[in-house]
């Protein structure tokens, strides 16, 4: 995930390492990543990402192909699990937040999830 962009005051901030800013410490983050890494074979899509998105904020993930944007969204929704680190959506495991009906998303590709036994 490209974390080298400028960030508007009061918005979410992402860092490859270091402190999380934007509301994680006070428990009011819509989404929080702490040290999140995810790889696909030898390709590391995310590497130690810390991210806090405050409740009520609007965020755009921008970056070139392969920057980790879709991987980050999939982690936020519980469609993927991180190899390392912690992901929370509305203070819950992402899958639990989605199951509760508190989270909805329209992804760019359609299809049904595969059933895991």
- Provide the 10 A C-beta neighbour count for residue 17: 10
Q: Which residue has the higher pLDDT, 36 or 18?
A: 36
Provide the mean pLDDT of the chain.
Answer: 80
The CA distance from 26 to 83, in Å, is: 26
- 107: in domain: no
- 27: in domain: yes
Q: Is 46 exposed, middle or buried (0-12, 13-18, 19+ CB in 10 A)?
A: buried
The parent domain of residue 67 ranges over 13-99
What pLDDT is recorded for position 110?
66
CATH number at residue 86: 3.40.50.300
If one counts the domains in the chain, the total is 1
- 105: in domain: no
Instruction: Summarize pLDDT for 65-100 with one digit per residue, the tens.
Output: 999 999 999 999 999 999 999 999 999 999 999 999
- 63: in domain: yes
Question: Once rounded to an integer, what is the mean pLDDT over residues 47-68?
Answer: 92
- 4: in domain: no
- 73: in domain: yes
Nearest to 52 by CA among 103, 89, 13, 91: 13
- 104: in domain: no
- The model's pTM: 0.71
- 70: in domain: yes
């Amino acid at each position: 995930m490209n974390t080298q962009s400028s960030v508007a005051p009061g918005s979410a901030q992402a860092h490859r390492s270091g402190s999380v800013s934007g509301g994680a410490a006070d428990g009011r983050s819509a989404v929080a990543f702490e040290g999140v890494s995810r790889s696909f074979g030898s390709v590391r899509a995310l590497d130690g990402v810390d991210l806090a998105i405050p409740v009520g904020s609007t965020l755009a993930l921008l970056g070139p192909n392969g920057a980790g944007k879709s991987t980050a969204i999939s982690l936020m929704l519980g469609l993927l699990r991180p190899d390392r680190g912690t992901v929370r959506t509305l203070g819950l495991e992402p899958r639990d937040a989605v199951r509760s009906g508190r989270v909805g998303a329209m992804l760019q590709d359609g299809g049904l999830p595969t059933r895991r036994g």
